């Protein structure tokens, strides 16, 4: 999973300032320059209105400011997008654009249309108290962890932002209505993490001694305000919260179309995912049968029927899960997988790895937990010296021993290798480093979550197909289980929001169909209630990459070069997958001629 750049549909605009970009492309057409100028105007204005978006993308000219979250300001921001969309349709003649700029036009147009529709349809500042945490804590955290400006500058900007957090919390109190309970509960846990951040972690990141100086004084004030806000969430918002979290079929269908931008309907995605789930289950049973006798010597293999094959696979996976670390060692265990994976990528010429390596593996901050076990927080595209964070969340301290053990069994030593492939090498981290070098300004900053998640899932099988793990059947079974999770994500996403799937039915799907442990299943159900459509991006994106790879490889035969294919696929930005076939083939044709 990636944060912030996972989709261009997020309400907090993911965009970059044009201040550091040349005004014109001397090799482009006049209409191309007109499109880029309009985009720069839009972004420059956006950054004045939404400073946190600027920070996220590496434009540091607004790091000492925080967004105005009042209803009037948010409506003005939405109007800016409406006006920009009208200008785009009126001022830019599509037929006069070069082919690359026609793609940029489509990306920009869809971004505006989707953010306008989302802003008019959903109301997260009223219905999702989690959003305020981004402004209260993440806005400061990013300055101290990702900005390449001098530490003292980042510290000074952090102080300025901290002094504006009370305004954010006051807006939250006035704005939050009757949100879904599941979102309130996550907001409570994240706010507890925010209190802890301002008590301790802030000082480590800023390089200041705890309890001394102006930073300590301002942090103490925020601890008090956040504690009061936490009480507000617990005593006022939680009691009035609802169980109304489904968005319904009509909204899901339209939102999914914007989220995927892949030319597939919701019904088509569901039908294909259900077919693929059956295929993957069958393949898993083949590998489980190969190692049954290793775990159960002398015990008869279960009957060769659907129920028996499922039982066999589940029991083998449970035994593989026995080999796991502890809550304290989870992050270190993930770090230990990196060197072997990177060495393999280089030795087998999977693709060229980014240099220098700027990916840090860290324990997920408390105030960011509650949505997933791991994510990649990518380096911002406008700050080339910024770093990425591959964050992993150990089981929360308040979990029961049984529930914590369930999560650790899910993320056993074999699964951690697959997770690191997905999140970092050659998954999200590598892909987004390539994306940050994309020559298209628009594609540099407007990104598709379907592309990002699809690439990460594609790499899991690809790495093992190329020989990573030396043919370890246990590792292959874990990879298939991880992929089945992506497939079932799409089924869960649809049935939770389009239908009336209950928690019990969801648990049955995740645990008995997808072989997930209880801890993982509970977390995924919570995540599916808190979001919609994002869970479908993994399967749809992976299918796009996998089918394109098969098609190109068939066309090229013995001339096919895996590294060249991968680098072609990653060099055009994190763009909608509907453009992949055209752009990859065009780039491969150019590199062949050279």
CA distance 48 to 415: 43
Provide the pLDDT for residue 593. Answer: 54
Provide the pLDDT for residue 251. Answer: 98
Phi, psi of 502 (to 5 degrees): -85, 170
User: Which letter, b or e, does each residue of 239-256 get, where b requires 16 or more Cβ atoms within 10 Å of its Cβ?
Assistant: eebeeebbbeeebbbbbb
Confirm whether 499 is domain-assigned.
yes
326 in the same domain as 185: no
Out of 245, 265, 299, pick the residue that ends a domain: 245
579 in the same domain as 460: yes
Given CA atoms 436, 437, 443, 447 in this order, what sign does their dihedral have? negative
Provide the pLDDT for residue 566. Answer: 98
Provide the pLDDT for residue 581. Answer: 97
Provide the pLDDT for residue 141. Answer: 95
Provide the pLDDT for residue 21. Answer: 36
Per-residue CA distances from 149 to 18, 359, 475 (Å)? 19, 18, 42
Q: What is the largest CA-CA distance in the chain?
A: 75
Provide the pLDDT for residue 592. Answer: 63
CA 63 remoteness from chain centre: 23
Provide the pLDDT for residue 399. Answer: 80
DSSP character for 352?
Answer: P
Show the domain range for 33. 18-245
CA distance 320 to 322: 5
Confirm whether 1 is domain-assigned.
no
Confirm whether 567 is domain-assigned.
yes
236 in the same domain as 130: yes
Is the peptide bond preceding residue 250 cis, with omega within 30 degrees of 0? no
Provide the pLDDT for residue 406. Answer: 86
The C-alpha angle with vertex 520 and arms to 514 and 522, in degrees rounded to 5, equals 105
Confirm whether 201 is domain-assigned.
yes
The C-alpha angle with vertex 380 and arms to 77 and 433, in degrees rounded to 5, equals 135
383 in the same domain as 498: yes
Task: Give me the average pLDDT of each 10-residue run along the chain (594 residues).
Answer: 45 31 53 97 96 95 97 98 98 97 98 98 98 96 93 96 98 98 96 96 92 92 98 98 97 98 97 98 98 97 97 97 92 93 97 94 81 83 85 85 88 95 97 93 95 98 98 97 97 97 97 92 94 97 98 97 98 97 94 58
Confirm whether 311 is domain-assigned.
no
510 in the same domain as 401: yes
3-class SS at 574?
Answer: coil
The structure's pTM equals 0.92
Provide the pLDDT for residue 540. Answer: 98
Q: HSE-up of 317 (CA within 13 Å, CB side)?
A: 29
Confirm whether 256 is domain-assigned.
no
Out of 194, 216, 245, pick the residue that ends a domain: 245
Confirm whether 323 is domain-assigned.
yes
Type and span of the H or E element at 75:
helix 71-91
326 in the same domain as 183: no
Specify whether the CB–CB gap between 450 and 21 falls below 8 A. Answer: no
Out of 187, 216, 245, pick the residue that ends a domain: 245
557 in the same domain as 461: yes
Provide the pLDDT for residue 38. Answer: 98
Confirm whether 439 is domain-assigned.
yes
Query: Of 464, 442, 457, 446, nearest to 490 (Cα)?
Result: 457
Count: domains in the chain: 2
């Amino acid at each position: 999973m990636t944060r912030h750049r996972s989709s261009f549909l997020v309400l907090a605009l993911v965009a970059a300032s044009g201040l550091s970009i040349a005004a014109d492309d001397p090799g482009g057409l006049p209409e191309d320059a007109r499109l880029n100028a309009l985009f720069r105007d839009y972004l420059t204005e956006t950054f004045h209105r939404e400073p946190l978006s600027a920070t996220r993308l590496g434009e540091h000219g607004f790091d000492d400011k925080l967004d105005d979250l009042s209803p009037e300001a948010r409506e003005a921001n939405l109007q800016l997008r409406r006006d920009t969309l009208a200008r785009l349709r009126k001022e830019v003649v599509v037929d006069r654009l070069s082919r690359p700029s026609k793609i940029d036009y489509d990306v920009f147009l869809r971004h505006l249309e989707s953010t306008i529709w989302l802003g008019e349809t959903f109301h997260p500042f009223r219905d999702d108290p989690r959003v305020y945490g981004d402004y209260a804590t993440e806005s400061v955290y990013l300055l101290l962890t990702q900005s390449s400006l001098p530490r003292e500058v980042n510290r000074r900007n952090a102080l300025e932002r901290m002094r504006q957090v009370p305004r954010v919390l006051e807006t939250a109190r006035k704005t939050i209505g009757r949100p879904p309970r599941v979102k309130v509960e996550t907001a409570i846990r994240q706010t507890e993490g925010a209190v802890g951040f301002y008590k301790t972690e802030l000082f480590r990141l800023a390089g200041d001694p705890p309890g001394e100086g102006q930073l300590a004084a301002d942090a103490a004030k925020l601890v008090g305000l956040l504690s009061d806000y936490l009480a507000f969430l617990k005593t006022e918002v939680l009691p009035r919260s609802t169980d109304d979290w489904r968005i319904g079929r009509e909204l899901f269908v339209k939102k999914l179309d914007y989220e995927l931008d892949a030319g597939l309907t919701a019904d088509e995605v569901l039908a294909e995912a259900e077919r693929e789930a059956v295929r993957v289950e069958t393949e898993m049973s083949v590998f489980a049968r190969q190692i049954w006798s290793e775990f159960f010597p002398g015990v008869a293999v279960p009957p060769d029927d659907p129920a028996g094959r499922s039982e066999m696979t589940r029991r083998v996976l449970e035994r593989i899960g026995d080999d796991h670390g502890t809550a304290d060692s989870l992050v270190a265990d993930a770090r230990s997988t990196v060197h072997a994976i990177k060495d393999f990528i280089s030795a087998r010429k999977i693709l060229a790895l980014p240099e220098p390596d700027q990916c840090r593996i860290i324990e997920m901050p408390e105030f960011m937990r509650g949505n997933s076990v791991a994510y990649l927080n990518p380096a911002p595209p406008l700050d080339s010296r910024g770093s990425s964070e591959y964050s992993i969340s150990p089981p929360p301290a308040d979990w029961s021993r049984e529930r914590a053990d369930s999560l650790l069994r899910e993320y056993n030593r074999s699964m951690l290798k697959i997770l690191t492939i997905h999140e970092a090498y050659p998954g999200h981290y590598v892909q987004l480093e390539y994306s940050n070098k994309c020559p298209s300004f628009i594609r540099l900053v407007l990104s598709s979550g379907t592309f990002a998640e699809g690439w990460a899932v594609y790499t899991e099988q690809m790495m093992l197909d190329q020989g990573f793990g030396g043919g370890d059947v246990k590792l292959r079974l874990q990879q298939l289980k991880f992929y089945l999770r992506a497939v079932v994500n799409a089924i869960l996403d649809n049935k939770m929001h389009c239908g009336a799937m209950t928690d019990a039915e969801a648990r049955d799907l995740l645990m008995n169909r997808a072989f997930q442990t209880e801890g993982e299943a509970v977390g995924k159900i919570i995540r599916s209630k808190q979001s919609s459509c994002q869970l479908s991006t993994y399967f749809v994106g992976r299918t796009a990459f996998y089918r394109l790879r098969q098609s190109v490889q068939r066309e090229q035969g013995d001339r096919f070069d895996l590294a060249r294919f991968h680098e072609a696929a990653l060099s055009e930005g994190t763009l909608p997958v509907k453009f992949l076939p055209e752009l990859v083939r065009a780039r491969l044709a150019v590199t062949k001629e050279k």
